[in-house]
């Protein structure tokens, strides 16, 4: 199941208005088994520990409805003309929100760090199974920086738009894993948001090797996990996959090839992400290589960094250790 693959057709504005006017939120009109079959909600058969009932289903409508007393359904009223492509058609009677609108919806109610993590996933080359957040599945990009930029320019003033616009410059495309996403966020976010304020990294950036560099690894190009172009630093996010003897040998050859071009390779593992002091050492190296000095000046920086780090660490908790998220409050005037 891929949450961020988008195989469905986008609707035009007129058709979207029509669909939203027909949505009522009556639970008797929702075919739960069908929604599971097309991957919109998790199938409890995929996880023995899941309850038979799905989590709350969020419904977007134009009608002014009373959202309470409808177990399992949270309605959100939208009374603005949404840009084309805000809704996608699954079949004749099933429609879902497009990725750009989803990002705006999450921005309206989620904290900045959690919203950015979803944004990186939507713009990334991976997704997480809805029924198993530890399993990484390769996927194509659901949206890009440009598509989100265009969407926000067309979206009328509505809840979530301003926050999504503020977060847009902090998004990077092409992440391949939560580890890459979290490393990028910790290093790149400005001090005021708890990050180390490095230059913007290019994720999974391909570097063409010189003839001398090719002799070190027998390859014509190398893909860098997080490449900092001004600092000429490649931060490699190493999971357990890199612990094998063969992979360590390949990593050494790769580092030698990049060193021949003046590029420093810094490996980062999950234990380093979990240790702020070790991660700060990486940030200092990147900053120093562009002639800068690491000087956090944002007010309450330690507090902001601790909050960001706590959100990042959620990705590395074991499933049994994860705490339940705070339930959403029913009813909203924002598009969702």
Q: How many domains does the chain have?
A: 1
pLDDT digits (tens, 9 = 90+) for 20-44: 988 876 655 677 788 777 777 766 6
Query: Is residue 80, in this structure, part of any structural domain at all?
Result: yes
What is the percent of the chain with per-residue pLDDT over 70, rounded to a whole number?
Answer: 82
What does each C-alpha distance from 1 to 4, 199, 297 come to in angstroms? 9, 35, 44
pLDDT band at 334 (very low <50, low <70, confident <90, very high): very low
* Predicted pLDDT at 285: 97
Q: Which residue has the higher pLDDT, 252 or 40?
A: 252
Q: What is the mean pLDDT of residues 242-267?
A: 88
Please say whether the beta carbons of 185 and 120 come within 8 A. Answer: yes
Q: Which residue has the higher pLDDT, 108 or 328?
A: 108
Query: Is residue 49, in this structure, part of any structural domain at all?
Result: no
Lowest mean pLDDT among 49-58, 164-173, 268-277: 49-58
Q: Kindly state the greatest CA–CA separation across the chain.
A: 70
pLDDT band at 188 (very low <50, low <70, confident <90, very high): very high
**pTM of the full predicted structure?**
0.86
Query: Is residue 206, in this structure, part of any structural domain at all?
Result: no
d(CA 255, CA 53): 50
* Predicted pLDDT at 185: 98
Tell me: pLDDT of 323 over 70: no
Residues with Cβ within 8 Å of 322's Cβ and at least 6 positions away in sequence, in order, are 133, 314
pLDDT band at 299 (very low <50, low <70, confident <90, very high): confident
**Spatial CA neighbour of 155 closest among 86, 66, 57:** 86
* Predicted pLDDT at 240: 59
Lowest mean pLDDT among 6-15, 150-159, 186-195: 6-15
* Predicted pLDDT at 63: 74
Helix (H, G, I), strand (E, B) or coil at 63: coil
Please say whether the beta carbons of 89 and 11 come within 8 A. Answer: yes
DSSP state of 149: H
Query: Is residue 168, in this structure, part of any structural domain at all?
Result: yes
* Predicted pLDDT at 212: 93
pLDDT band at 5 (very low <50, low <70, confident <90, very high): low
Query: Is residue 31, in this structure, part of any structural domain at all?
Result: yes
* Predicted pLDDT at 133: 58
Tell me: pLDDT of 336 over 50: no
* Predicted pLDDT at 45: 62
**Do strands 73-77 and 233-238 pair parallel, antiparallel, or not at all (unpaired)?**
unpaired
Query: Is residue 267, in this structure, part of any structural domain at all?
Result: no
Top mean-pLDDT range of 8-12, 73-77, 236-240:
8-12
pLDDT digits (tens, 9 = 90+) for 79-107: 889 999 999 998 888 899 999 999 999 99
**Residue range of the domain that includes 38:** 1-44+57-172+318-336
Query: Is residue 312, in this structure, part of any structural domain at all?
Result: no
Question: Which tokens go with 127?
Answer: 């997704």
Please say whether the beta carbons of 206 and 176 come within 8 A. Answer: no
Q: What is the mean pLDDT of the chain?
A: 85
Q: Can you spell out the DSSP letters for 288-327?
A: HTTT------STTHHHHHHHHHHHHHGGGS-GGGPPPPPP
Query: Is residue 227, in this structure, part of any structural domain at all?
Result: no
């Amino acid at each position: 199941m891929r949450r961020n693959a988008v195989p469905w057709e986008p609707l035009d504005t007129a058709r979207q208005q029509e669909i939203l006017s027909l949505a009522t939120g009556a639970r008797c009109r929702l075919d739960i088994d069908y929604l599971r079959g097309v991957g919109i909600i998790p199938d409890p058969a995929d996880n023995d520990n899941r309850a038979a009932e799905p989590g709350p289903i969020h419904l977007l409508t134009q009608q002014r409805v009373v959202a309470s007393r409808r177990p399992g359904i949270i309605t959100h009223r939208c009374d603005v003309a949404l840009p084309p492509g805000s809704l996608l058609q699954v079949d004749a009677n099933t429609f879902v929100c497009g990725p750009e609108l989803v990002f705006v919806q999450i921005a309206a109610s989620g904290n900045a760090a959690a919203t950015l993590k979803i944004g990186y996933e939507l713009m990334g080359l991976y997704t997480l199974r809805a029924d198993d957040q530890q399993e990484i599945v390769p996927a194509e990009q659901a949206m890009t920086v440009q598509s989100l930029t265009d969407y926000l320019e067309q979206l009328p003033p509505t809840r979530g738009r301003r926050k999504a616009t503020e977060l847009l410059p902090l998004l990077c495309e092409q992440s391949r894993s939560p580890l890459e996403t979290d490393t990028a966020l910790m290093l790149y976010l400005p001090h005021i948001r708890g990050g180390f304020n490095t230059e913007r990294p290019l994720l999974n950036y391909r570097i063409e090797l010189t003839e001398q560099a090719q002799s070190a690894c027998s390859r014509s190009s190398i893909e860098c996990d997080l490449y900092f172009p001004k600092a000429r630093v490649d931060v490699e996010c190493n999971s357990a996959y890199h612990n094998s003897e063969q992979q360590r040998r390949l990593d050494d050859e790769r580092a030698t090839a990049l060193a021949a071009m003046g590029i420093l390779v810094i490996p980062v593992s999950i234990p380093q992400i979990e240790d702020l002091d070790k991660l700060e050492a990486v940030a200092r190296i990147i900053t120093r290589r562009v002639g800068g000095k690491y000087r956090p000046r944002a007010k309450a920086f330690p507090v902001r960094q601790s909050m960001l780090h706590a959100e990042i660490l959620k990705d590395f908790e074991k499933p049994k250790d994860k705490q339940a998220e705070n339930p959403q409050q029913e009813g909203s005037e924002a598009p969702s």
